[in-house]
Amino acid sequence: MLGKRNRLLILLFLFGSVLFATPDDNFDREISLNEVLTQYKLKNFSVVLRLANRTTPLNRSENLALNYLRAHSFLQLKEYKNALEQFLNLLGEVPYKYEIFNNIGACYFYLGDYENALRYFDFSKTENPNYKIAEKNYILLRNATATKTLESNWISPTDFPETFLVFSSANADISTGWIYFYLGKPTEAIHLFKKAIKSDPEYSLSYLSLGYLYDSGGNFRSAIRYYEAALKIDPEYPDLWNNLAISYYNDGQTEKALSHFQKATELNPTFAYPVNNLGYLHLQKGDYTLAKKYFLRSIELNPSGPFLLGETYAGLSICNFHFSERDEAKRNKKDR
């Protein structure tokens, strides 16, 4: 099976849309993720942290959303050490790390660890060079530390310009939209993603999110349209090329899928997902030699995801089985 389908998990930024609810006082009742989200949107961050420990059993996506809420609640309450711990734990769960890297940098900044703050802002902008928030944070902090401004007695992290951490309304809509998606409410999610586009037409994550949602729902033409719009903004982002290739493949446009997977590997030669996808594409075209080449290359890249590694070995096994069958047929023909 091609793909990196369940891979888009978006960092929750701070938002403040108001819903009306009151904290639950029945301490014996299990809490739904929706109730926790409501309290977060009401900016009742202490309540969020209390209710988060009483939720009903959650699936993996819902649990990830809950942990995002925890991390940002700690951040809003200025409990930066706890927020940092939560964000660091999230790193191993998500394939898109650049926004989490940025927020880890923010936590280190407020804790006064400017060296690590600078390092994580650099991680963020390196993973996605088009992510302007991290680039701005990196430049501001690098310049401040270079002139030793932050070491002066008259300035502290709380005095740093408010522009240091940028949380746009587009980010807020995307964050909320993904929680609704995790809750099984794609219509609400799509509405918020489109709202984010109106708020900031140059923010590629809005288009990327819509592309993923439409592809997941089987509307591949719409997915292609939004992925292509994202590429116009972030043309050097390999994940986008890989996602668009998957949608082309799902829509039956095999040759376009092939060229887009190849472009993803050109932009990032160590990106195992499109390499594995190229293996399956050639496998389905009957080119077992080339398919095996890509599967072996994918294994060499040592992908961290066990699911991807399992897929790669499965594809390699199919190739090896074909070659063994072919060799057996040749031997039988020779023995006649």
pLDDT in tens, 88-114: 998 877 656 877 888 899 899 889 898
* Nearest CA among 166, 169, 173 for reference residue 138: 166
Question: What is the average pLDDT across 239-244?
Answer: 92
CA within 13 Å, CB half, 131: 25
CB 211 within 8 A of CB 247: yes
* Nearest CA among 76, 80, 81, 24 for reference residue 53: 24
- Per-residue confidence (pLDDT) for residue 256, from 0 to 100: 96
- Per-residue pLDDT tens digits for 215-230: 988 999 999 999 999 9
Residue bearing the bigger pLDDT, 62 or 162: 62
- pLDDT exceeding 90 applies to what percent of the chain? 32
CB 253 within 8 A of CB 10: no
CB 277 within 8 A of CB 261: yes
* Nearest CA among 231, 264, 206, 237 for reference residue 127: 237
Check residue 168 and report its DSSP letter: -
- Biggest CA–CA distance in the chain, Å, is 93
- Per-residue pLDDT tens digits for 20-31: 334 444 455 688
Q: Quick one: pLDDT band at residue 253, thresholds 50, 70, 90?
A: very high
- Per-residue confidence (pLDDT) for residue 177, from 0 to 100: 80
Using the predicted structure, report yes or no on whether residue 11 has a pLDDT greater than 70: no
Whole-model pTM? 0.61
- Per-residue pLDDT tens digits for 111-158: 989 899 999 989 888 877 666 777 788 888 887 777 665 554 444 555
Domains and CATH numbers, the chain: 33-164 (1.25.40.10), 269-336 (1.25.40)
- Per-residue confidence (pLDDT) for residue 59, from 0 to 100: 80
CB 10 within 8 A of CB 205: yes
Tell how far CA 320 is from the center of its chain: 34
Using the predicted structure, report yes or no on whether residue 67 has a pLDDT greater than 80: yes
